[in-house]
Amino acid sequence: MCRDHGVQSMRWLLGVAFLLAWGAWPVSAAELVVQFTDGHGHAVSDAVVTLTSDQPASVTTPPQPAATRYIDQKHETFIPYVQILRPGDKVIFRNSDTTRHHVYSFSGIKKFEFVLRPGDSSPALVMDKVGIAAVGCNIHDHMSTYLFVSGATAVAMSDQDGNATLDNLVPGHYTMHVWHPQLHPGQAQPTQAVNIANDSDNPHVALALSLIPDPRMEMDDDD
Amino acid sequence: MQSMGFRLRLGLFFVATLVTVQLIMAALVYEVTRHALVAEGERELTANAEAFVAQMDDISRRVADNVQVLSLDYALRSAIAERDRGTVLSVLRNHGRRVGASRMLLIGLDGTVEADTGNAGNVLKRFPFPDLINNAYDRRTAAVVVMDGKASWVVVVPIYAPQPVGLVVVNVPLDDALLAHMQKLSALPRDIELAAQLTPGHWSVMARGDNRSDLTRSVAAVHGGLPWEPMLTRVDGKEYIVLAQHLKQPKNSAPVVAVLGYSLDEALRPFRSVVLAGIVLLGLGLGVGMLGAWLTARSVSRPIETLAASVRRIEAGDYRAPPSMPRRDEIGQLATAFGTMTAAVRQREEHIRHQAMHDSVTGLPNRVAAEATIDLALDTEDMTSGALLMIGLTRVPDIIKTLGHALCDRLMRDANERIRRVASGAYLARVTDAQFMLWLPGAGKPEAVAAALRLLDTLNEPYQETDISIDRLPSIGIAMFPADGSQAGMLLRHAEVAQFAASGSARALSFYEAATDPHRPERLSLMGDLREALDHNQLLLHYQPKLDLVSHRIDGAEALVRWNHPRLGWVPPDAFIGMAEDTGNIHRITRWALASALAQAQQWLEQGLQLHVAVNLSTRDLEDVDLPSRIRALLAIHGLPASCLTVEVTERAVIGERDTAIQILRRLADQGIGIAIDDFGVGQSTFAYLRHLPVSELKIDQMFVKHLAVDRNDQIIVRSIVELSHQLGYRVTAEGVENALALDYLASIGCDHAQGYFISHAIPADGFAAFIVGRDKTHA
């Protein structure tokens, strides 16, 4: 994604103006765009990309207040598929469905299980550990959702078009980690070194992911 | 014998045809069936192989479904997630029993074994088939693997909780029991084996269906590998179609194949009963066919045998009708035709026989029949005498030439009737075109003569037709039995001789006289005897004295050839001179006679007797151009003057005025030899001829001299001849003087010489001198 220098300088001026408007700190406008495709060339959504700075001390992120995310259950589906959380965030499961759901997780960061009747909500769960929790429904095998808890500098999820944008990046060396719920098990998470040269850097990365079929789809018996 | 061969041939032909046809049919059917079965077998095998693979798929699906259920077990999932190995194992074991697995493994996401119900020591080892793991997330994964030397069906199912937390590997052993189970449930062939190539190039049997044969080992041993296309081969001596089918396999596994066999023998079994039935039918058909052929042949060959026997009888001359065959078919027709033919042959033969034995014109028996009949008659004991009359109509050849056969035939028929009227009851035959024969058994000479005269009377009447009247001129010769012959042949011959003699004489009737029979068979051997006589000096010269009528002294001799035959005695010159002339032997006789006579003359000269010698020459001698020189030579040898030799020739010899004869005579005359004409007066000579010939002497035939004493006419003739001859300068000698009166008469008319019995017979040379001396004394 190339932008011509004219526009770029415009943006830079705006960015500077914006930053000045906001006050004290030096705001960066660097952006990393990652585009995900699968083995067949289709856009992959729900891919999570994190950037971890190689020099963690140089980057400071202002503490943010703990957020409470809701994970809904409707039509025997967890919504959303992947939820990005910061450590300390809370998550509440809500049953907006017509049937009961037996929500469980055997994950290392949080083990829980409860049965939610329609209309019920679960107590808030505090996700203080970093990691990925896979959550499923014991009654409905195809239901699953993932809680991506990460304290990384920048975290973004790919959209329907398969694009994930990480903005406000401080120039420096980063390690990018990619994760997707359907990454082939047993294989290591793709990682890549990323360098944000300066404030206006705008690298684009295209990644092809090797994915297993979506278990949320009905398993068909034919091969 | 031959009909046996026919029967046998027919039977064999029938049998051979039947057998051949049946065998060909059987072979055809067998081949077609076999082909069909082989094709069927191949199709079946291919289908079965596919069915087997499909069945395995079914098994995998079933197992996978089962494991799928298992994989959703909450307890298992939590046990796996919490790494509760003990629980995991027990759950696996439990569920393994449920699905019929012999072994269950839990594989971690990294491909290592986390739990193994079969081998605890397997933990943390890598699962040997990572490609199965990789595929398990995408599709239902199942394969046949060889683990620890055993083949098993392996199904891999991922466990989701809800993300993949591991994989369960289910091991269903592929053993005989499973195959048997599969065979029971579906239409798998009986002969099925699972073979694995544990070591390269060697196939080991992992499992076997309920067959007893050793498919894999046999095929691999014979062909080196396994057939991937249906192949016809022999296993344990039986015929199988064998096909190997690959099974779904992971990359690292040793190859496992299903080997299926289709027993051709089994497939052919139902046809065995057909073959058996066919053989029985063939045997039956053979038997019936042979019988039928035998009977048919018999019904054909029997009558043919009978007919063949009839043919042989006919060949032997038996013309009895062949046995009738009351059949309407072709054989019956043949038999009927045969009978007709036999009758016709018999008729014809009778007709031919009759014709052979009878004269067609008159219907009388012919010579052959007559001889046979007469011989038969002569054979009977009481036949003591008989007369055979040969009635000859000598004019017949003439009549035929003049008036034709048709008329002659009528004439002969008329003659036949006349003879019949006169000699009814006697045996009459026509022996030649011109001769009838009449046999009078028991007749003597008088009866024969009486019969002959009657016959002559009736036959002497001319044959009358419209405007023709023909004289038959019959003559009859009679031969008497047993005097003139004891057999019919001889009688006939002699009668014929008599008839020829009769035809020349005035009476037209004569009996056979052996003495005058010029046709005696001894004649035929006479010439050979004569040659021998010449070679062995059996011929003699006798000399008949010639009397000089003036001096009354013997002054010459005629040399006459005499033959003292060892067997026949004295053979008269008439008998052999004529034949010698015909056969050319006369030359030798003449030469010998000349030489002998001249030698004798020389002898007489030495004895003091001066005698002429006269030697007879024949007509043939006058064709010999060397004769004059030969005679000259002889005269020279004996030192005799030519004048002492005279040659005598008959009138006949010179009558033809042949140049050669005349020249020879001239040459002889020129030498000084005398030429005398013998038997003068009886032939056709004329003085006109004699004018040209160098004749010196005429000898009057004894016919004129015999009755000279009494016959006035003879006297006139003889005197005339003497006078005329003298006028012409010839001397005359009279032959056949038999009495003194004749002699006196001859002397009185001036005849020069006389010869005859009155003077002397011809006498041998040694007696000649004595005779002369004696006579001189008497007539001195």
What is the domain partition of chain B in residue ranges? Answer: 12-265, 386-511, 522-770
% of chain B at pLDDT higher than 90 = 11
Task: Please say whether the beta carbons of B55 and B153 come within 8 A.
Answer: no
CA distances B403 to A11, B137, B202, B391, B543, Å, are 174, 146, 126, 22, 55
Q: Which of A197, A61, A185, A105 is closest to B138 using CA atoms?
A: A185
Q: CA B617, CA B648: separation in Å to the nearest integer? A: 6
Q: What is the per-residue pLDDT across B470-528, written as a single tens digit (0 to 9) for each?
A: 888 889 999 988 888 888 888 888 898 888 888 877 778 888 877 666 666 666 677 77
Interface of B with A (CB under 8 A): 61, 65, 68, 72, 74, 77-78, 81-82, 108-111, 133-134, 137-140, 158, 160-165
pLDDT at A6 over 70: no
Closest chain B residue to A113, measured at CA: B78
Residue type, B184: K
Averaged pLDDT, B321-335: 74
Residue of A138, A141, A223 with shortest CB distance to B139: A223
The tokens for B267 are 């497939």
Give the closest-approach CA distance of A158 to chain B in angstroms. Answer: 20
Q: CA B421, CA B674: separation in Å to the nearest integer? A: 63
Cross-chain Cβ contact A144/B109 below 8 Å: no
CATH superfamily, domain B386-511, is Reverse transcriptase/Diguanylate cyclase domain (3.30.70.270)
Q: Tally the domains of chain A.
A: 2
Flag whether A216 is in a domain.
no
Residues of B in contact with A212 (CB under 8 A): 137-138, 164
Cross-chain Cβ contact B133/A106 below 8 Å: no
Flag whether A109 is in a domain.
yes
Residues of A in contact with B82 (CB under 8 A): 106
pLDDT at B99 over 80: no
Averaged pLDDT, B262-272: 81
Task: Please say whether the beta carbons of B556 and B646 come within 8 A.
Answer: yes
Write down the architecture of domain B522-770 according to CATH: Alpha-Beta Barrel (3.20)
Cross-chain Cβ contact A143/B162 below 8 Å: yes
- Grade residue A222 by pLDDT with cuts at 50, 70 and 90: very low
Averaged pLDDT, B287-313: 80
Residues of A in contact with B72 (CB under 8 A): 141
Mutation target among B163, B165, B167, B248 for the A interface, most CBs of A within 10 A: B163
Residues of A in contact with B78 (CB under 8 A): 106
Residues of B in contact with A223 (CB under 8 A): 139-140
pLDDT of residue B426: 85
pLDDT at A27 over 60: no
Cross-chain Cβ contact A186/B163 below 8 Å: no
- Grade residue B544 by pLDDT with cuts at 50, 70 and 90: very high
Averaged pLDDT, B436-449: 88
pLDDT of residue B2: 55
Task: Please say whether the beta carbons of B159 and B19 come within 8 A.
Answer: no
Give the closest-approach CA distance of B94 to chain A in angstroms. Answer: 21
Residues of A in contact with B77 (CB under 8 A): 106
pLDDT of residue A180: 92
- Provide the 3-class DSSP secondary structure of residue B164: strand
Residue of A106, A146, A223 with shortest CB distance to B161: A106
Residues A125 and A56 in one domain: no
Interface of A with B (CB under 8 A): 106-107, 134-138, 141, 143-144, 146, 181, 184-186, 212-213, 215, 219, 221, 223
Residues A24 and A75 in one domain: no
Q: What is the per-residue pLDDT across B67-98, written as a single tens digit (0 to 9) for each?
A: 888 888 888 888 888 888 888 888 888 888 87
Closest chain A residue to B78, measured at CA: A106
Residues A85 and A143 in one domain: yes
% of chain B at pLDDT higher than 70 = 96
pLDDT of residue A9: 67
Q: CA B131, CA B252: separation in Å to the nearest integer? A: 8
Residues of A in contact with B109 (CB under 8 A): 185-186
pLDDT of residue B620: 81
pLDDT of residue B135: 84
A132 vs B202, residue with greater confidence: A132
- Grade residue A1 by pLDDT with cuts at 50, 70 and 90: very low
Residue of B61, B74, B164 with shortest CB distance to A185: B164
Residues of A in contact with B126 (CB under 8 A): none
Give the closest-approach CA distance of A168 to chain B in angstroms. Answer: 33
Q: CA B694, CA B623: separation in Å to the nearest integer? A: 17
Residues of B in contact with A186 (CB under 8 A): 108-111, 133
Averaged pLDDT, B761-775: 86
| Residue corresponding to tokens 């009279």 | B734
Task: Please say whether the beta carbons of B472 and B412 come within 8 A.
Answer: no
Cross-chain Cβ contact A212/B137 below 8 Å: yes
Flag whether A139 is in a domain.
yes
Flag whether A31 is in a domain.
yes
Flag whether A30 is in a domain.
yes
Residues A53 and A80 in one domain: no
Domain containing A111 equals 68-149
Averaged pLDDT, A68-83: 92
For the domain that residue A134 is a member of, what is the CATH number? 2.60.40.420
B461 Cβ contact list (under 8 Å, min separation 6): B418
pLDDT of residue B12: 78
B117 Cβ contact list (under 8 Å, min separation 6): B89, B92, B93, B96, B103, B104, B105
Element spanning B706, H or E: helix B702-706
Domain B12-265: assigned CATH number: 3.30.450.20
Cross-chain Cβ contact A138/B74 below 8 Å: yes
Quote the mean pLDDT of chain B: 83
Residues A134 and A201 in one domain: no
- Provide the 3-class DSSP secondary structure of residue B480: strand
Give the closest-approach CA distance of A10 to chain B in angstroms. Answer: 46
pLDDT at B283 over 80: yes
B230 vs B189, residue with greater confidence: B230
Mutation target among A106, A115, A148 for the B interface, most CBs of B within 10 A: A106
Residues A140 and A75 in one domain: yes
Q: Which of B192, B195, B246, B245 is closest to B220 using CA atoms?
A: B195
Q: What is the per-residue pLDDT across A206-216, written as a single tens digit (0 to 9) for each?
A: 888 888 888 78
For residue A40, the tally of other CB atoms under 10 A from its CB is: 7
- Interface size, chain A vs chain B, as Cβ–Cβ contacts under 8 Å: 51
Q: What is the per-residue pLDDT across A141-189, written as a single tens digit (0 to 9) for each?
A: 889 999 999 988 889 999 999 999 888 888 888 888 999 998 888 777 8
The whole-model pTM stands at 0.48
Give the closest-approach CA distance of A45 to chain B in angstroms. Answer: 17
Residues A38 and A73 in one domain: no
pLDDT of residue A136: 92
Cross-chain Cβ contact A212/B164 below 8 Å: yes
Q: Which of B199, B201, B254, B253 is closest to B226 using CA atoms?
A: B201
Q: What is the per-residue pLDDT across B209-261, written as a single tens digit (0 to 9) for each?
A: 776 677 777 777 777 778 888 888 887 778 888 888 888 777 777 788 888 88
Q: What is the per-residue pLDDT across B415-433, written as a single tens digit (0 to 9) for each?
A: 999 998 888 778 899 988 8
Residues A196 and A145 in one domain: no
pLDDT of residue A221: 46
Let me know if A220 is exposed, middle or buried by CB neighbors in 10 A (0-12, 13-18, 19+): exposed
User: Which of A97, A124, A149 finishes a domain?
Assistant: A149
Residues A33 and A104 in one domain: no
pLDDT of residue B647: 93
- Grade residue A223 by pLDDT with cuts at 50, 70 and 90: very low
Residues A83 and A107 in one domain: yes
Residues of A in contact with B164 (CB under 8 A): 185, 212
Query: How many residues in chain B?
Result: 780
pLDDT of residue B692: 76
Could you list the beta-strand ranges (E) of B247-356. 256-263
Residues A40 and A10 in one domain: yes
Residues A75 and A141 in one domain: yes
pLDDT at A135 over 90: yes
Closest chain A residue to B109, measured at CA: A186
Residue type, B111: G
| Prior bond of A80 cis (ω within 30°) | yes
B10 vs B743, residue with greater confidence: B743
Give phi and psi for A85, each to the nearest 5.
-130, 150
- Grade residue A60 by pLDDT with cuts at 50, 70 and 90: low
Q: What is the per-residue pLDDT across B585-615, written as a single tens digit (0 to 9) for each?
A: 788 888 889 999 999 999 998 888 888 999 9
Flag whether A105 is in a domain.
yes
Flag whether A119 is in a domain.
yes
Give every strand in the sheet of B202-208, ordered side by side.
Answer: B202-208, B191-199, B256-263, B238-246, B231-235
Residue of B61, B138, B164 with shortest CB distance to A221: B61
pLDDT of residue B445: 86
pLDDT at B532 over 50: yes
Let me know if A194 is exposed, middle or buried by CB neighbors in 10 A (0-12, 13-18, 19+): buried
Q: How many CA atoms lie within 13 A of B248 on its CB side?
A: 20
Give the closest-approach CA distance of A186 to chain B in angstroms. Answer: 4
pLDDT of residue B264: 82
User: Which of A134, A149, A164 finishes a domain?
Assistant: A149
ipTM of predicted complex: 0.74
- Segment A121-124 long-range contacts (CB within 8 Å, at least 24 positions apart): A121/A92, A121/A93, A121/A94, A121/A95, A122/A92, A122/A93, A122/A94, A123/A92, A124/A68, A124/A90, A124/A91, A124/A92
User: Which of A116, A149, A182 finishes a domain?
Assistant: A149
Flag whether A214 is in a domain.
no
Q: CA A32, CA A206: separation in Å to the nearest integer? A: 11
Residues of B in contact with A137 (CB under 8 A): 162
pLDDT at B111 over 60: yes
pLDDT of residue B357: 86
Question: Helix B586-607 vs helix B765-779: angle between axes, to the nearest 10 degrees?
Answer: 50
